[in-house]
Amino acid sequence: MTERVQIEIDAHVADVTLNRADKMNALDLRMFAALAEAADTIAGNSSVRAVVLHGAGGNFCAGIDLSVLAEGDFDFGEALATPLAPSPANFFQRVAYAWRELPVPVICALDGVVFGGGLQVALGADIRYASPDAKFSIMESKWGLIPDMGISTTLRGLVAPDQIKELAWTARVLDSREAQALGLITAVVDDPMVASRELAASCVARSPDAIRGIKALVNQTWQLADADALALEARLQSGIIGSENQAEAVNANFEKRKPEFRD
């Protein structure tokens, strides 16, 4: 793992830190690559049951580092046109979409600035807890760009289309309360890291099969026709019910003890 992103795994929780505090954790090419690598590392570790994603130095992420746009030897056309198989996301999209692809809960702790690409990374998470003084913006139009880091998939179920257009056209900065009212974030809390770690611990305490199944259920069925959604719901449940972890959840409840789940 490069120094741009740090991962620490403890008690089944992966703590992922955007680690470029001197630049407000802005996304240069190395940060793009490091975030995707971090997600791949977690995906390959079956012991991880939840992820806490946050930024170093009091900010989550200021968005794209404009030095990226000056990279003369980088083929933007190729990067934009080529999905990073087996993911459908390209090089730029994957820093956000990879968190959606992970089967485990991803909880984002947001402080300071959450601008442009930084907001899109956060939108790839399942839950977003923000401090009262955090600031948010879909800022790409300021630089003559559209938001293109997976926002077409991560934001469409959260915010109404007319509101998304207004935010993206104006690139205006929101405070936490307005961001919550619009649906950009889950909750405003005094300490996002504490809230994120508490939720991660709650998820770890449940059957990992159920927790992963719930994420798959919500992510995959909300845009389906009713018949397809009901069928997927049934398939997910059939793979869980009667399993070792499901039986352990029942037994532990009846025996009033802490469950011991298999990864």
Whether 1 shows a pLDDT value over 60: the answer reads no
- CA distance linking residue 109 with residue 62, whole number of Å: 14
pLDDT in tens, 197-216: 999 999 999 999 999 999 99
Note whether residue 140 is domain-resident.
yes
Give 137's pLDDT tier (boundaries 50, 70, 90). very high
Distance CA 239, CA 6 (A): 34
- Across 182-195, b (16+ Cβ under 10 Å) vs e yields bebbbebbeebbeb
229 and 145 within one domain: no
Which among 188, 203, 218 is the end of a domain? 203
CA 84 to the chain's CA centroid: 18
Which amino acid is located at 205 in the chain? A
pLDDT tier for residue 2 given thresholds of 50, 70 and 90: low
Last residue of a domain, one of 183, 203, 223: 203
Question: Residue 262 falls within a domain, yes or no?
Answer: no
142 and 29, same domain (yes or no): yes
pLDDT at 96 over 80: yes
The token duo for 208 is 């990992």
Shared domain for 140 and 248, answered yes or no, is no
Nearest to 113 by CA among 139, 78, 87, 95: 139
Are residue 233 and residue 165 in the same domain, yes or no? no
Q: Is the pLDDT of residue 34 over 80?
A: yes
Report how far apart, in Å, the C-alpha atoms of 131 and of each of 54, 183, 194, 238 are.
12, 15, 11, 39
* pLDDT of amino acid 25: 97
Q: Is residue 261 part of a domain?
A: no
Query: Which of 26-40, 131-145, 157-171, 226-240 has the lowest average pLDDT?
Result: 226-240
The more confidently predicted of residues 53 and 240 is: 53
* Mean pLDDT score, 70-80: 81
Share of the chain above pLDDT 90, in %: 74
Instruction: Report if residue 260 sits inside a domain.
Output: no
Q: In terms of domains, do 194 and 66 share one?
A: yes
User: Within a domain: residue 234?
Assistant: yes
pLDDT at 250: 86
Mark whether 192 and 241 lie in a shared domain: no
Q: Which domain holds residue 229?
A: 207-255
In a domain, 263, yes or no: no
pLDDT tier for residue 66 given thresholds of 50, 70 and 90: confident
Are 148 and 248 within one domain? no
State the DSSP H helix or E strand holding residue 197, giving kind and residue range, or none if neither: helix 192-204
Is this model's pTM higher than 0.95 or not?
no
Statement: residue 245 has pLDDT above 70 = yes
The average pLDDT across 106-127 equals 98
Say yes or no: 69 and 180 in one domain: yes
Indicate the helix (H) or strand (E) that contains 15: strand 13-18
Task: Please tell me which residue, 170 or 1, carries the higher pLDDT value.
Answer: 170
CATH of the domain at 198: 3.90.226.10
At 228, which CATH number? 1.10.12
pLDDT at 253: 86
In a shared domain, residues 128 and 187 = yes
Residue 182 inside a domain? The answer is: yes
Three-state SS for 205-224 is CCCHHHHHHHHHHHHHHCCC
- One domain, residues 248 and 119: no
In angstroms, rounded to a whole number, what is the distance separating the alpha carbons of residues 149 and 217? 23
What is the residue-averaged pLDDT of the chain?
Answer: 93
Q: Which of 161, 182, 203 is the last residue of a domain?
A: 203
Residue pair 227/175 in contact by the 8 Å Cβ criterion:
no
Instruction: Pull the structure tokens for residue 244.
Output: 């070792």
- Does residue 12 lie in a domain region? yes
148 & 192 share domain: yes
Residues 135 and 251 reside in one and the same domain: no
Residue with tokens 């996002």: 192
Number of domains in the chain: 2
